[in-house]
Amino acid sequence: MSKAARLRAKIRDKPLTHIIGAHNPLSARLAEEAGFDGIWASGFELSAAYGVPDASLISMTEHLEMARAMNDAVDIPVVADVDTGYGNAINVMHTVRKYEGAGMAAMVIEDKVFPKDTSLLAGGRQELLAIEEFEGKLAAAVAARRDPDFMIIARTEALIAGLGQAEAKGRAERYADAGADAVLIHSKSETPDEIVEFVGAWARETPIVIVPTAYPQLTEADIMALEKVKMVIYGNHAIRAVVTALEKVFGRIRKDGGIHNVHGTIVPVTRVFELQGVPGMKADEKKYLR
């Protein structure tokens, strides 16, 4: 069963599928070990890993190659964040072929104008595409996929842009009609109220996806109680955890003038060997090195 088929089955059969952002194969492996259903090849995490703003600055190739490397490193499915799809409907067709070809299970495409600005930035540029143009991009994505299980998830930024519930609902319905397999509704509100209102008004069969970064108080139990949300994406916790850990360890080494105090506070190198697959390589060496 392909990863795309497995992800579809999870979304159909589980009350809630949980996906977490990663930015390289090592963080993807740790997410898999922790028991997540899938990996979010996050544009924000990748941009941050490259040290640049999440504003359509990294190229499709840069994002795609890391998404491919993450997918190769884990057995769980990868959901690719392709931002605006790297251009118009024709660019989107190329994007679908490339990401599907790289083994992605799904891709999320958002209704912002290229070049986009990141969603959670206070005062960020949040300009949306005309609905018809985005419908065309979705139709192009659906036509371009080869595997019908590869999921095209439409993301509306109407709430992020401050356009209100009616605009968000209207756009999401049009995107569902245009063939989206799920609709991602994003919010930067610090309470879940606007998401709860949106979900309450959603009358379609099309499943909803949410990214509760700004309103972390909404637990998985709360999300399941909303019923229509079938996927939750934890968008940027891997990169934030890395920053937290590195600030602490690097600062301590400088303060102490050596690594003597941090040595016992971080994982031993053997743990990294394990994550790199060294035990498997050693077993192969025994069998094949002659």
CA distance linking residue 224 with residue 213, whole number of Å: 17
Binding mask 27-46 for ligand SPV (x = CB under 6 A): ---------------xxxx-
Residues facing 79 on adjacent strands: 40, 106
End-to-end Cα, the chain, rounded Å: 36
Compose the 207-236 pattern: x for residues touching ligand SPV by CB under 6 A, - for all others: ----x-x---------------------xx
Structure tokens at 200: 């309450």
User: How many chain residues are in contact with ligand SPV, going by CB under 6 A?
Assistant: 14
Provide the minimum distance between the beta carbon of 119 and ligand SPV in the complex, in angstroms, as a whole number.
4
3-class secondary structure per residue, 194-213: HHHHHHHHCCCCCCEEECHH
Q: How far is the CB of 186 from Mg ion (least distance, A)?
A: 9
Q: In angstroms, what is the minimal distance from the CB of 57 to ligand SPV?
A: 13
Is the Cβ–Cβ distance between 67 and 108 less than 8 Å?
Answer: no
Name the catalytic one among 13, 37, 54, 256. 54
Query: Rounded to 5 degrees, what are φ and ψ at 119?
Result: -75, -35
Structure tokens that stand for 124 in this block: 């960020």
Catalytic: 149?
Answer: no
Q: Is residue 43 a contact point for Mg ion (CB under 5 A)?
A: yes
Residues in region 69-98 near Mg ion by CB under 5 A? 81
Over the window 80 to 119, marking each residue x when it contacts ligand SPV by CB under 6 A and - when it does not, the resulting string is -x------------------------------------xx
Structure tokens at 280: 């498997």
Cβ distance to ligand SPV smaller for residue 56 or 206: 56
Token pair, residue 145, equals: 């996929």
CB of 178 to Mg ion, least distance (A): 21
| CA dihedral of residues 186, 189, 191, 193 (deg, nearest 10) | -60
Q: With contact defined as beta carbons under 8 Å apart, do 263 and 240 qualify?
A: no
**One residue of 17, 21, 92, 231 binding ligand SPV per CB under 6 A:** 21
Nearest approach in angstroms of CB 83 to Mg ion is 6
What gap in Å lies between CA 164 and CA 4, rounded to an integer? 33
Catalytic residues: 54
Q: Which residues bind Mg ion (CB under 5 A)?
A: 43-44, 81
Footprint of ligand SPV on this chain (CB under 6 A)?
A: 21, 42-45, 54, 81, 118-120, 211, 213, 235-236
